[in-house]
Structure 1
Amino acid sequence: MRKWFMLLLILPLFAQAGPYQRNEARAVNKVVFGDVDNVRYITQQEVLESHRNGWETLLGGVIGGLIGNQFGGGTGREVATAIGAVTGAGIAHYRQPERHVVEYRLVELLIKTEEGKLVDVIQDVDTDMLFQRGDGVRILYFDNGVRVDKTYP
């Protein structure tokens, strides 16, 4: 019981922070103002394959062994069980992995800063903040990335 209690206390320390949300307070290292020079909305697709963790192979071996155990008698049954287990494990291990396609909607912004420099930023599309050429924006620099928001008069 005490081990479970300690695990519940320690586990949150290893939890990783999720992606940055617009309604979160974060420390900003630098803010640069400018105007959108060019906007390009793009999509990016990523194919994700399911990763096997070994349980499928083990389960395939068990099922194959149970099926093989139904045949023969004596030593023949033991051989059939072993062959069934190896065959079942092999089929489960080498089956085609499941694939999922994930589509990301992104926006590429080319921004001309007040200092006259061009900055290119690619970020997720926020349907509440769609950009157009000429929009006033601010570039927010964080420790682990950059985000562009519109500036409002």
Structure 2
Amino acid sequence: MRKWLWFVLLFSSVLHAAPYNRNQARPVNQVVFGQLETVRYITQQQVVNSEHNGWQTLLGAVVGGLIGNQFGGGHGREVATTVGALAGAGVAYQNQPIGQSIRQYKLVELLIKTEEGKLVDVIQDIDPNMLFQSGDNVRILYFDDGVRVDRTYP
């Protein structure tokens, strides 16, 4: 149960935390050393829906208003223009394709046995310059806004 709590807390901090720049100095609250028990590279996909584009709706309103303006006379022409603009905007809005894109997160899950014998599970984004293997000696860096794991060098 405790492991899952760590998992949820760390996973949510990875997705919402600001990107970690290894070339930027940051205050570290705690450093814990350990060895990697398991390494698992994972991919998470998120479907992102784009919002309707207002230009198509505006164009539909203009075209509908121009068509409606061709009918009636006097006050009836104003009503036909208004109804045509509303109908054109509604049709254009309903017929717009909703764009979708897929945002892909490449993550690595690290199960670490600390020097004190505790198991810590961390999920973080993949850094191509810092690839992990089972048995690597690592350090867990605890920041105010999350956790990061780096390899230690002899």
Structure 1 residue ranges without an equivalent (≥5): 1-16
Alignment CA distance shift 1:19-1:66 (3 Å): farther
Name the TM-score, length of structure 2 as normaliser: 0.77
SS in structure 1 at match of 2:133: coil
Matched residue type, 1:109? L
**Structure 2 residue aligned with 1:64:** 64
Verify: 1:121 aligned to 2:122, yes or no: yes
Query: 1:109 and 1:55 mapped to 2: Cα distance?
Result: 47
Query: 1:85 and 1:68 mapped to 2: Cα distance?
Result: 7
Query: 1:18 and 1:113 mapped to 2: Cα distance?
Result: 26
**Structure 2 residue aligned with 1:74:** 73
Query: 1:134 and 1:148 mapped to 2: Cα distance?
Result: 14
Deviation at 1:144, TM superposition (A): 0.6
CA-atom RMSD in angstroms: 2.3
Deviation at 1:54, TM superposition (A): 5.7
Q: Are the aligned partners of 2:72 and 2:80 in contact in 1 as well (CA < 8 Å)?
A: no
Deviation at 1:82, TM superposition (A): 1.8
Verify: 1:91 aligned to 2:98, yes or no: no
Deviation at 1:67, TM superposition (A): 4.1
Query: 1:123 and 1:19 mapped to 2: Cα distance?
Result: 10
Query: 1:64 and 1:103 mapped to 2: Cα distance?
Result: 41
Q: Are the aligned partners of 2:43 and 2:106 in contact in 1 as well (CA < 8 Å)?
A: yes
Superimposed CA distance per residue, residues 27-54 of structure 1 (whole angstroms, 9 cap, x where no aligned partner): 1000000011000000000011113486
Query: 2:86 and 2:24 mapped to 1: Cα distance?
Result: 53
Structure 2 residue ranges without an equivalent (≥5): 1-16
Q: Are the aligned partners of 2:45 and 2:102 in contact in 1 as well (CA < 8 Å)?
A: yes
Matched residue type, 1:98? G
Matched residue type, 2:119? L
SS in structure 2 at match of 1:122: strand
Task: Give the number of aligned pairs.
Answer: 136
**Structure 1 residue aligned with 2:42:** 42
Name the TM-score, length of structure 1 as normaliser: 0.77
**Structure 1 residue aligned with 2:135:** 134
Deviation at 1:56, TM superposition (A): 5.5
Higher relative contact order (CA closer than 8 Å, sequence separation 6+): 2
Deviation at 1:150, TM superposition (A): 0.4
Q: Are the aligned partners of 2:35 and 2:136 in contact in 1 as well (CA < 8 Å)?
A: yes
Alignment CA distance shift 1:20-1:79 (3 Å): same
